[in-house]
Amino acid sequence: MTYAPITISAKFDLFSEQWQPKVIAEMNDYQFKLVRLQGDFVWHSHADTDETFIVLHGQLRIDFRDGAVELKAGDMFVVPKGKEHKPYAATEAQVMLIEPRGVANTGDLAAGERTASNDVWV
């Protein structure tokens, strides 16, 4: 049989909303998510897990309480478990997130209006 690849750019074409991660694949109990980011997010952390950002298009800054990292397309960064961070993009960035299944974008599923629905596939 012919297996289908997951074409990342084609998955991005299936949605336009920002700050709403979409799952495209799972590896064991981890998920690969795509998200469009623009503007400022909220400060948050993930108490139980590291979180990986891979920038696929545009530029992303991740602010920390003690500094920041600037990512351009083709760059990645792993935010350590428990470290407060706040993503920011001046213009829309396309980003892949990799993290365990069940992780909320705001670090807490009850964190308010910026919390996205979890486990939404595209």
- Residue 75 or 92 with smaller CB distance to a copy of itself: 75
CB-CB contact of 29 with 46 (8 Å):
no
CA–CA separation, 90 and 107 (whole Å): 22
- Residue 54 or 106 with smaller CB distance to a copy of itself: 54
Return the closest-CA partner of residue 35 out of 83, 77, 92, 82: 92
- Residue 77 or 88 with smaller CB distance to a copy of itself: 77
Per CB under 8 A, residues contacting a copy of itself are 1-9, 24-28, 30, 32, 49-52, 62, 64, 66-72, 74-78, 81, 98-100
